[in-house]
Structure 1
Amino acid sequence: MKDRIKEVLAHDPQDQTLLAYIMDGKTRRFWQSEGLIYTNGSRLYVPAHGGLRGEVLKECHDSKWAGHPGIQRTLALVEERYYWPHIWEDVEAFVKTLLVCQQDKGEAHAPKGLLQPLPITEHPWASVSMDFIIGIPPS
């Protein structure tokens, strides 16, 4: 993975600008080591191009050791080792679009209650109910 990131960094103009800032000492947030960009401890910067961010998300969410965690846990797993701008939005979109996770996800609302019978009135026509059915094509 590191070799592929290094290759993409070498060819992407936006990342070349970031590397130039690092080399000129204009930023202390990022640093460069062996052709890779790091930030916040030892978190590796993942460029936008080359589909590498998607591969990182798959590794941290779909692998056997990860076990399809939710958004918060996937974000924690990704942020342990990687960084890119707007990482939260990418993780959220990735997890929300996976069919497997959506099918396994439980209901988000409280269970519905039992039907309650209407009270019996003392006089005929004291209570009238009506159901409306709409959207039926004319016959």
Structure 2
Amino acid sequence: MNVCFTPDSNGSVIANLQVKPILLEQVKEAQKLDEKLVKLTREVQNGGKLDFTLTEDGVLFYQNMLCIPNDDKLRRKIPNETHISPYAMHHGGTKMYQTSKEHYWWNGMKRDIAEFISKCLVCQQVKAEHQVPVGLLHPCRCRNGNGRE
């Protein structure tokens, strides 16, 4: 974050605030360290790999989704930010994957999200059971005890 204060001629202070997304910068730096993504970046620069694109500042995207490098810290940060935020809801793995895949891409993303959800205590507590309620018990009116009259 960059803040600049400038005094005005009438004694007021003008503040200029610039905010940059931290996650994008972290991904950009981590992409430079991931061998597979470095190779893909070179192929895109040479005109190959049409599904992949590079932004002006060199960030790699796959079909308009940000390519997340093979960095466990970053790959845990994304579901953590989207799931545990005070504004997020605990929808479960399928919904979280569908939402995340609109913006991010990495190999094994669905598996990683399912594993994340399986460790979320809130999700496990609010998980709805998909079974028909048993109902009231009725005594058996059979003569021979095997359920048939």
State the TM-score, normalized to the length of structure 2: 0.72
| Aligned residue number for residue 121 of structure 2 | 99
Q: In structure 2, what residue type is equivalent to 1:78?
A: S
Could you tell me which of 31, 37, 42 is aligned with 2:60? Answer: 37
1:127 is displaced (CA, Å) by 4.6
| TM-score when normalising by structure 1 | 0.76
Other-structure match for 1:62 = 84
Bigger RCO (CA 8 Å, 6+ sep): 1
Contact 1:8–1:50, Cα closer than 8 Å, also in 2: no
**Which blocks of at least 5 consecutive residues in structure 2 are unaligned?**
1-22
* Higher fraction of strand: 2
Identity of aligned residues (%): 28
Deviation at 1:90, TM superposition (A): 2.0
What is the deviation of 1:109?
Answer: 1.2
> Following TM superposition, by how much is the alpha carbon of 1:50 offset from its aligned partner in structure 2, in angstroms?
4.5
The 8 Å contact of residues 44 and 53 in structure 2, kept in 1 or not, is answered as: yes
Preserved CA contact (<8 Å) 1:60 1:77: no
Structure 1 unaligned residues grouped into runs of 5+: 129-139
RMSD: 2.0
- In structure 2, distance between residues paired with 1:50 and 1:127: 60
- How many pairs does the alignment contain? 123
Q: Would you identify which runs of 4 or more consecutive aligned residues in structure 1 move more than 3 Å?
A: none
Q: Deviations over 1:34-84 (max 9, x none)?
A: 1211122x3211112142111111112221222122223212221222112
